[in-house]
Chains A and B, each alone.
Chain A
């Protein structure tokens, strides 16, 4: 293993003869979704392997599909580093701007698609439930956590299914709900 010119040797190593380069990244700096996103952009040019180098450190191995000299390997590592930063930052931006991004996306796609035609409505399978709700997210607090023996209401059948068929006291569920 050798160093890659200009790159920190504790994090970047190259096996030029083997045509391979490895990069170790700290997960507290680059979240896993950023590592996935960044490395994925290389799969057309490299074989990519991820493994764990240490409890909080990920090792990325790039093996170019075609011959690559030291300069080419260095360029791959440099591009990966920049893409890692881009993905990590983008992930944070998307979290912070989620409301506006979702609003614009919804408006853009729904504005472009428009309402369904009669033919499309005819093909729609109305027999299915509109969505599955195994966690009972769509239920009110009263429906989901009603006391045993409470009068059966319109939602009585849904609540047990949502809780795995078992009715529980509201207080019993509080910790589970808050930690979910």
Chain B
């Protein structure tokens, strides 16, 4: 047996001296893992971890038909002589179920105005006096009309900004208009609001709770880090009351209050919690433990370790916020190792990236996360509506518009038709560009059945929607995370696998579905 050479790039396997037998294996892709192990994946996304000598026997067709290895290969549909076409087709069909219907996520930027100033603001927020960036009621209604025209049986209207609480009247109008209109359409309708929570009050909260609106926010970690990156000016209100000063204090106060309100409504506290998102900057990297502890302390059940994106203001501030992706992956490994450790002690908190990939790997299903699927969800899984009624394939496309790039603009709600939007030539181009079966590197990558890269990111960073994956920071992150996960899977520690299985358990939050009575 030849050990993998340290001079080979990550994932490569030394094939020197190996005489392959193409008639023995069915179609497969492979990637070397540490510890002389090799990962095999196939068309339908089954996987096997082999020892290096087992891999050599497999590739050269030298596996004893009576052996345990032969049985594993046959059971995984890796053998040409036993290839089960029907099973492969069914597996693929299950993974690509999202192709059967149109956009389910509709993001409404109800205003660009925001009361906070974030160093990495992807949304290109506008100052509070920029009332011209508020969405009108008429525009909002046209957005809802288009969203409810989707062929998707489930529709999520997501309020974004800026800060959506700044234009709360339009948020309320959208909710009421959509509910009324949906009464005859009958979609499984959900509302989500992405807010920094600093402008929340009891009256708004009571309304959002009554209307069953899911609330998401941002927490960048402990107070010092969060307040350094997300500035909330201190204000003195006309009533004399002082407000603001610490974005963290405002967000934490309302996270706890909203979680309390869910419990007061009798909702399962293990399922109904405020969702919070992290944006990882250079300053976050050494604070992996503090970040996890912060989320656990807030009672969050999920933490999404998202790297910083190059959109919006982050394009300018990137040089002081960015970091090599190898350092991010080191941060990721430490943080998730720690989360697994906490889970083994009975604390239930999952990492969102891991949950997305593990659901695909272990369950053979796709959770339909729009940026990690093939083809990507741009235009066919999601649409973004700007405050002025501009329609975009994705929120990143809308962000690029704010900095002068209209590549992802599909039209305007005033005269667009649903079929015209989702059948737009830009959407078709993005479907082709977001298909990993058409992309160099991805076609040979063992992680292809589980992966995806948003064309908008490649367009922004490389000037092409097709992307060059070896130079893509998104590819580096996705590959690095899957390396980590498959190393854990290969180690097969029963406790870790139990945690991973739990992270892939999808528990629907039916309370938020408007068409179902609470």
Contacts and interface: CB of A to CB of B under 8 A. Distances in A.
Interface of A: 41-42, 44-45, 82-83, 85-87, 89-90, 93-94, 97, 100-101, 104-105, 107-109, 111-114, 116-117, 120
B99 A107 contact: yes
B439 interface: yes
B471 interface: yes
- A45, A112, A117: most-surrounded residue (chain B CB, <10 A): A112
B394 to A, nearest CB: 14
B419 interface: yes
Contacts of B438: 90, 93-94, 97, 101
Nearest to B464: A41
B505 interface: no
A101 to B, nearest CB: 5
A83 B380 contact: no
Contacts of A113: 102, 151, 418-419, 422-423
Nearest to B100: A111
A129 to B, nearest CB: 22
A104 B96 CA distance: 9
B440 A86 contact: yes
Given A41-B463, A108-B380, A116-B419, A90 B439 contact: yes
A93 B435 contact: no
B45 interface: no
B100 A83 contact: no
B462 interface: yes
18 contacts: A45-B463, A85-B440, A86-B466, A87-B466, A93-B437, A93-B438, A94-B438, A100-B437, A101-B432, A101-B438, A104-B437, A105-B432, A108-B99, A111-B151, A112-B422, A113-B151, A113-B419, A120-B419
Contacts of A105: 375, 428, 431-432, 435
Interface of B: 96, 99-103, 150-151, 375, 379-380, 417-419, 422-423, 427-428, 431-432, 435, 437-440, 443, 462-464, 466, 468, 470-471
A112 B463 contact: no
A90 B466 contact: yes
A82 B471 CA distance: 9
Contacts of A85: 440
Contact of A42 (B150, B380, B463): B463
Nearest to A123: B417
B103 A112 contact: yes
Q: Is the interface of A mostly helix, strand, loop or mixed?
A: helix
A72 to B, nearest CB: 15
Nearest to A101: B438
B396 to A, nearest CB: 17
B419 A114 contact: yes
Contact of A112 (B379, B437, B440): B379
A109 B431 contact: yes
A101 B432 CA distance: 7
Contacts of A120: 417, 419
Contact of A83 (B103, B419, B464): B464
A98 B177 CA distance: 44
Q: Specify which of A45, A86, A107, A117 lies most central, judged by the most chain B CB atoms within 10 Å of its CB.
A: A86
Contacts of A82: 468, 470-471
Nearest to A117: B419
Top 4 A-B pairs ranked by shortest CB distance?
A: A112-B102, A114-B151, A112-B380, A41-B463
Nearest to A96: B443
Contacts of A108: 99, 375, 380, 431
A86 B458 CA distance: 13
Contacts of A42: 463
Nearest to A98: B438
Contacts of A41: 462-464
A109 B462 CA distance: 26
Contacts of B427: 109, 112
A97 B43 CA distance: 13
A112 B375 contact: no
A101 B427 CA distance: 15
B379 to A, nearest CB: 7
Contacts of B432: 101, 105
A104 B432 CA distance: 9
Given A82-B471, A112-B427, A113-B418, 9 more contacts: A41-B462, A86-B468, A101-B435, A104-B96, A104-B99, A111-B100, A112-B103, A117-B419, A120-B419
Contacts of A90: 438-440, 466
A66 to B, nearest CB: 15
Contacts of A44: 463
A107 B443 CA distance: 20
Determine which residue in B150, B431, B470 has the highest number of CB atoms from chain A within 10 A of its CB, and name it.
B431
Contacts of B379: 112
A36 to B, nearest CB: 12
Contact of B102 (A93, A97, A114): A114
A129 B163 CA distance: 52
Contacts of A111: 99-102, 151, 380
Contacts of B423: 109, 112-113
B419 A109 contact: no
B431 A97 contact: no
Contacts of A116: 419
Nearest to B443: A93
Contacts of B419: 113-114, 116-117, 120
